[in-house]
Amino acid sequence: MPVGESSGRTRPDACPGALQVHEAADGPLARVRLPGGAVSAAQLRVLAGCAAELGTGVIELTSRANVQVRGLRAPEVFAGRIAAAGLLPSPAHERVRNILASPLSGRGPDGLLDVLAMADALDRALCARPRLAALPGRFLFALDDGTRDVAGLGADVTYLATGRLLLAGADTGLTVAPDAAVPLMIDAAEAFLDELSPGGPRAWRIRDLPDGPAGIAARLRHARPGRPDAPETREAPDTPAASARRPSAGRIAQRDGRVAIEALVPLGRLTSAQAAALAGLGRPVRLTPWRTVVLPDLSPGEADRAERALAAAGLATDPDSPWAGVTACTGRPGCAKALADVRADALRWVRGLGRAPATPVHWAGCERRCGLPRGPVRQLIATINGYEERQE
């Protein structure tokens, strides 16, 4: 939907959470927010246990670096376990803690900021504002470390390492120092709620509001004059637009001499055994919007051991793996609208490949095409007469 187009939505946002589950075709589905995609080994172990003992044995990675568990047999027990693991710091805010962050958080060759620390601060500030519990579950924040890997993902409020603030992907001309970024982003979320018209069309995202970015930017300028952290207005620099990132795998050299490993998760689904294997490495894990996992801050020897463990668990660390760029929606039996078991069909198709497809491929169970990645994608859409192929 283009920026500035009014949505005319007529119902409240029903995005699932850990407490407000979605009744899917295969049973209750819970989604757990992981701000910045960060999860500790201990927390991942708890999620693996929940998936194995209470769900279908699978942890699904989402395009917002969150996780979800399907087919829950005891949603209340699940919620209690993740709360005890520190994954539910504010029950009132649990659906609105949607915060993307560059997975390497300043460690890569183009990274400038430790945005993971900023994601933690933003999460705490968000949970400390009772009013912000009213944000829709689809409202999204993003923190880009200078790599411009999450800058183009269409977040409602994005802070760039250059100091610039984007609203619904539009450069507002507002700029602020990193130590003032979190308060400004919180104010932007408050301004979004201020822009909602009582009795008017519902809006889940800034792009749903008529002239949403301009209206919110105006509120931010007028509400903060004279404050030390007030944003400045500067001309937008001539910086290249962020392009869609393709899921990748392999070693990444960090600026401090250590390395990170990124591993592909086939179709974004971690089995409980794979999650337990990841947790068994005893390292913090970063989940990415491309449904991959990253292990940062490894020595070369640690990286060797991690690669062997990931390969043994069935997670690909070869950048030419056939799984690179292959995605799929839930499909049958989990989605009642799906016309095919797209995951099974995608699995058979990938087994016939020798290397990664030249163009990303998305398998969809119906015309809704849930989970469709950004950028050029070859689409295989299930119909009553088989799959229809499209290219966009």
* Token code pair at residue 59: 């942890």
Residue identified by tokens 């994601």 is 119
Q: For the chain, what is the mean pLDDT?
A: 92
Low-confidence ranges of the chain (pLDDT < 50): 1-7
Identify any residues that bridge with 389 across adjacent strands, giving them in sequence order.
380
Residues 267 and 327: beta-carbon distance below 8 Å: yes
pLDDT for 234? 74
pLDDT at 2: 31
pLDDT computed for residue 195 by the predictor: 94
pLDDT digits (tens, 9 = 90+) for 290-335: 999 999 999 999 999 999 999 999 999 999 999 999 999 999 999 9
How many Å apart are CA 158 and CA 241, to the nearest integer?
A: 14
Strand ranges (E), the chain: 22-24, 27-32, 38-39, 58-61, 67-69, 99-101, 141-144, 157-160, 164-167, 170-175, 232-233, 250-253, 259-264, 269-271, 285-287, 292-298, 326-328, 361-364, 378-383, 386-391
Using alpha carbons only, give the angle 121, 244, 186 rounded to the nearest 5 degrees.
25
156 close to 216: Cβ distance less than 8 angstroms: no
113 neighbors 148 (Cβ within 8 angstroms) = no
Q: What pLDDT score does 243 carry?
A: 60
Q: What's the pLDDT score for residue 3?
A: 30
What pLDDT is recorded for position 248? 86
All domains in the chain, ordered by first residue: 326-391 (3.30.413.10)
Please give the order of strands across the beta sheet that includes 157-160. Answer: 99-101, 141-144, 157-160, 164-167, 170-175, 232-233
